[in-house]
Amino acid sequence: MSTETLQHQDQNQHRVTWTEDYQQRVNPELMTRLLRTAIPVLESSDWRIEEVDEGYCQSILPLNSPTTNQHGTHQAALISLSADYTGGLALATLLRGIPLAGVHRCDADESASLWLAGMNVKYRSPSSGHLIGVCRIDAKTAESIQSRYFSGNRVLATLEVNFYSNGDLVAVAEMKYFAQPTMQLTPTPGSKTHSALFSHKLKASARMIAGLRGRTSQNSRITVRSAESDLIAGPHGQLLANRLQSVLPQLTDMVLARTQHIDETLDGFVGVRQVVMLGAGLDMRSLKHAAVRPDVTFFEIDLPSMIAERKRVAAVLQHECEDRRVLLEADFRSDDLQELLNSHPRFDPELPTMFIYEGCSMYFSEQENRQMMDVVRKLMQNPMSCLWVDFVSLDVASGKTNNRNVAAFLDGMEELGEKFIFGVDDPGSWLTVSGLGLVETTRCGDYLCESDMVFNTYSFAVAKVW
């Protein structure tokens, strides 16, 4: 993590008073609402935060139908669940001024990632009343936690959560937590190994998109459906797709529209010999197209953890086109993509090539996107070669949208660690400035013949070299 980020987080601790932090970040009403949104089982059990102070949290798990077992007392597993979030919030109160990734709306460079590493719960007696959970961190431990975190070090803290019912101690939980600046989970430029949490977030987004690709649309313009996408997405991707679809009903049609538009562009490219998928994710269209295009080579490029996941998924799917697929590991922020492709014996920049930069531009800065366009332009040495790319509008990327559904979707994407940071309102002009020409831009709403303005915050573009 950069020195500037460390200094920024340390300044947060000293600039924000506890009263301000309590009101803005960790008060019981706010944290109950945020945690219930992030963890639906807390909502269904009516679990809530009762009191919060620095290094202290008190929660309540009501004795009600969803929380009881066959004996009419609390389920042991839900006591453990309550212990997790009671202790976790007590720890979070010590990270003054620092939002929690996955809970608060925040950027990776200013947030903390906190997760449970282990637990040991001793149940002393059945809980036959509302269950009060209490975690109090002593001053010495609290000082050590703050010192380590604000020095840029990972925190490993063991905290005790006591549970009381009808005034009696009914359970004691020993909870072990990790906490560290979220930026430390992001791989450094050039790194070929990623943290488990970074890889999980990366795969979560890809599985979610696969879950949407496997759906059907009520729009008669959409005929594409990837039947294998349900298998690719798995229950995790389908769950995330359901969650984001519920806050942005237009999402399925937007993803299916871009999927179909890419297919139509590829089908209309007579003489194509190479397809380069930049940020391939879990888009397995290469299997489908390779089966009917024996003279086309597909180059599938992504981070190492995603390439490993693509290999795992491809092994499950029935296909016979391995000889036409080239999987390449690359970090767009640090690796020389032009050198990577030009040095590969099977890539020829002078062949008619389609580059697909799908669902990526919104996650990179404008400078990074300009650099990508420059690389693609230099690799398009055949006049027939083209680039397919999609963009969100500027107000979506900046978070200044007035549409509640879009705002809720952006919140959901941030929870997945996929914050939008770039958008353009005029893709054609932006691509022209980047050295590309003959741009054909299509707004999603126009493509779908939909009047809903949400669709027109999203555009597709096909560009060639002048």
Domain annotation for the chain: domains and CATH numbers: 3-185 (3.10.129.10), 196-465 (3.40.50.150)
Please spell the DSSP secondary structure of 173-226, one letter per residue.
EEEEEEEEEGGGGSPPTT-S---HHHHHHHHHHHHHHHHHHTS--S-TT-----
Please give the pLDDT value at position 233: 87
Please give the pLDDT value at position 10: 54
DSSP-based helix, strand, coil % in the chain, nearest 5 = 45, 20, 35
Give the three-class secondary structure for 75. coil
CB 297 within 8 A of CB 273: yes
Please give the pLDDT value at position 288: 85
Give the three-class secondary structure for 82. helix
Show the DSSP H helices in 195-347 as ranges.
196-213, 229-247, 251-267, 285-292, 304-316, 337-342
Tell me how far apart the alpha carbons of residues 361 and 363 are, in angstroms, rounded to a whole number.
6
Please give the pLDDT value at position 107: 67
Tokens of 24: 């803005």
Tell me how far apart the alpha carbons of residues 114 and 102 are, in angstroms, rounded to a whole number.
9
In order of 114, 137, 173, the CA distances from 160 in angstroms are 16, 8, 6
Please give the pLDDT value at position 12: 53
Please give the pLDDT value at position 14: 57
Q: Which residues of the chain have pLDDT under 50?
A: 1-6, 8
pLDDT 10s digits, 212-244 = 998 989 999 999 877 788 888 888 888 888 888
Half-sphere exposure of 220 (CA within 13 A, CB side): 1
Please give the pLDDT value at position 186: 64
Burial of 393 (0-12, 13-18, 19+ CB in 10 A): buried
Which residues, 6+ apart, have CB-to-CB distance to 103 below 8 Å?
31, 34, 35, 38
Please give the pLDDT value at position 3: 47
Give the three-class secondary structure for 387. strand
- The pLDDT mean for the chain works out to 89
Please give the pLDDT value at position 187: 57
Burial of 125 (0-12, 13-18, 19+ CB in 10 A): exposed
Burial of 417 (0-12, 13-18, 19+ CB in 10 A): buried
Give the three-class secondary structure for 275. strand
